[in-house]
Amino acid sequence: MKPILPGAMLGLLGGGQLGRMFTMTAHQMGYQVTVLDSDADSPAGRIADQFICADYADQSALQQIGEQCAAVTTEFENIPADVLSTLASLSRVSPGARSVAIAQNRIAEKHFLKTHGFPVAPFAVIEQVDGEDDIKHLFPGILKVSQFGYDGKGQRPVNDEAELQAAFIEMRSVPCILEKKLPLKSEISVVLARGYDGATVSFPVVENQHVGGILDISIAPARISNRVAEQASAAAKNLVQILEYQGVLCVEFFVLEGDQLVINEIAPRPHNSGHYTIDACITSQFEQQLRALCGLPLGNAALHHPAVMVNLLGDLWQKSEPDWTQVLEEPLAKLHLYGKKEARPGRKMGHFSVLGATVDEALASANQIRQHLESN
Ligand code: ADP
Ligand code: MG
C-alpha cells in the first residue's frame, strides 16, 4: 500500500477529546484534518483545518469527507457501520465497518469473543423479561444496554429478577446484556495497533482503577506478573488478527483471583487508558492511529518512564476553576485540558500524567497533585 504522506487531508468521525488528541498529533506531523461532528463546538472540531457540522447520517457530508480526505478514521465507536462502508467506497477507512459493528454492540461483541474462545463473564442476552430464561446463576449481576453505553452509563446492578425487570423497563426495554458481577482483583487493558501489513505493536499493559464506572486512574506498567502481562498482550494480539483489524484498539480485561483473565470489552479506537502513552511512551496511541491509517510503519511503543494518568472530571470545576499551580509546578507532570466549555459532573474535562523513576514514585506524586486539586 502506498503510504499517505504529510500534507494530506485526513478525515475524522467524531470531535471529542480522542479526536482532538489525534488532530494535534496529525498537525505535529504535517497532516491536515477534517472533523465531522454534530456539535458545533467540539474539542476536535475547534482545532480542525476543516469542520463539518453534521450528523453521521448526512449523505452530502459523508460524500464531502470521502472525496476530500485521503483516509478516514473514527474516534467514536457509535458510528453506524454503514457509514463506514459508504466512506470505504470513496476513501481509505480504518478501522473497518465489521470491527466497529462488533465493538459497538455488547451482544455482537460477547458472541464474537465467545465464539473465538476468549474468556468472558457469564452472561445472557435480555430482549424481554418473561421469567422463562434460566438466569438465576447471573445474580448478583449488572444489566448493560447493548449499545451507546459509556463511562458506566446504561448500566444497573441487579440482585434478582424483580430488580432486573425494573432495570430493564428503566432502560426502555432496549436489548441488553445481563452479566454476572465478578469479584475483580484488578482491571487492566492493552492498547495495540495493527497496520496495513498485518504487523501488530502493543503498548505496555496498563492497570486501571474506576470510580462509579468511570476510569479514575491508569498506572503503567500494570502491577501484575510478567506471565499475566504476556497473556493479556497475546490475547489482544490474537483478537486483532482474527478481526483483521486496522488501526488502534483497546482490550479491557478483568483480573480475577488466581490471575484468571476475562475480557470485559473492546474499543475500536484509542482509549482513555492509553492517554499515558502521550507522555510516557516513545510513540503515543494517537501517532500509532495515524501511522496505521496512513500505511506508515508502526512506531516503537516502549515505555520510557513509569507513569500514572489521572482523569479530571467536571466535578472538580463545581466551585470554581481548579487551582493548577501544583500540577504545573511538578516537573514530571503533564497537564492536558480538552477545551470543553461546560464542566458537568462526570464529564471528562482533561487529564494529567505524572512520570516517575518507579510506579510508586509516580503514584505518590499523582496522589499529592490530585489531593491539592480536590482541596480547592
Ligand atoms: P463502559 O462501557 O461504561 O466502560 P464497562 O462494561 O467497561 O462499561 O463497565 C465499567 C466498569 O464497571 C468496569 O470497568 C468495571 O469496573 C465495572 N464492571 C463492569 N462489568 C462488571 C462485572 N461483570 N463485574 C464486576 N465489575 C464490572
Ligand atoms: Mg469499559
CB 149 near ligand 1, within 6 Å:
yes
The three cell numbers locating residue 67: 472525496
* Domain stop point among 139, 162, 180: 180
Ligand 2 centre distance from Cα of residue 65 (Å): 30
Amino acid 274: pLDDT: 98
DSSP symbol at 303: B
Same domain, 151 and 199: no
From 349, 285, 283, select the one nearest 313 (Cα to Cα).
349
pLDDT at residue 350, as a whole number: 98
Same domain for 256 and 358, yes or no, is yes
Same domain, 164 and 238: no
Distance (angstroms) between ligand 2 centre and the Cα of 6 equals: 34
CB 338 within 8 A of CB 20: yes
Say if residue 253 is exposed, middle or buried (CB neighbours under 10 Å; 0-12, 13-18, 19+).
buried
Q: Is 187 in the pocket of ligand 1 (CB under 6 A)?
A: yes
Give the CATH number for residue 52. Answer: 3.40.50.20
190 lies in the same domain as 176: no
- Same-domain status, 192 and 310: yes
Residue 151: its pLDDT value, please?
A: 85
Asked if residue 125 has its Cβ within 6 Å of ligand 1, the reply is: no
**Do 86 and 157 fall within a single domain?**
no
Ranges of residues in the chain with a pLDDT under 70 are: 131-132
Q: Report which of 267, 236, 265, 262 is spatially closest to residue 121, judged by C-alpha positions.
A: 262
pLDDT attached to residue 340: 97
Q: Are 264 and 210 in contact (CB under 8 A)?
A: no
Domain residues for 342? 184-375
Regarding whether 192 and 151 lie in a shared domain, the answer is no
Q: Do 72 and 219 belong together in one domain? A: no
Helix (H, G, I), strand (E, B) or coil at 332: coil
Closest CA to 257 of 315, 330, 312, 184: 184
pLDDT at residue number 232:
98
Q: Which residues contact 44 (CB under 8 A, 6 or more apart)?
A: 12, 14, 15, 16, 17, 19, 20, 22, 23, 33, 35, 37, 75
Do 194 and 169 fall within a single domain?
A: no
Position 41 in a domain = yes
Q: Which three cell numbers stand for residue 69?
A: 480526505
Q: Is the CB of 288 under 6 A from ligand 1?
A: no
Question: Does the model's pTM come out above 0.95?
Answer: yes
Same-domain status, 156 and 254: no
Has residue 107 been placed in a domain? no
Number of domains composing the chain: 3
Q: Specify whether 224 is located in the same domain as 175.
A: no
* pLDDT for position 376: 78
pLDDT value at position 132? Answer: 64
Same domain, 143 and 271: no
CATH number, residue 149? 3.30.1490.20
Last residue of one domain, picked from the residues 145, 180, 215: 180
Q: Which ligand 1 atom minimizes the distance to the CA of 152?
A: 3
Residue 109 falls inside a structural domain: no
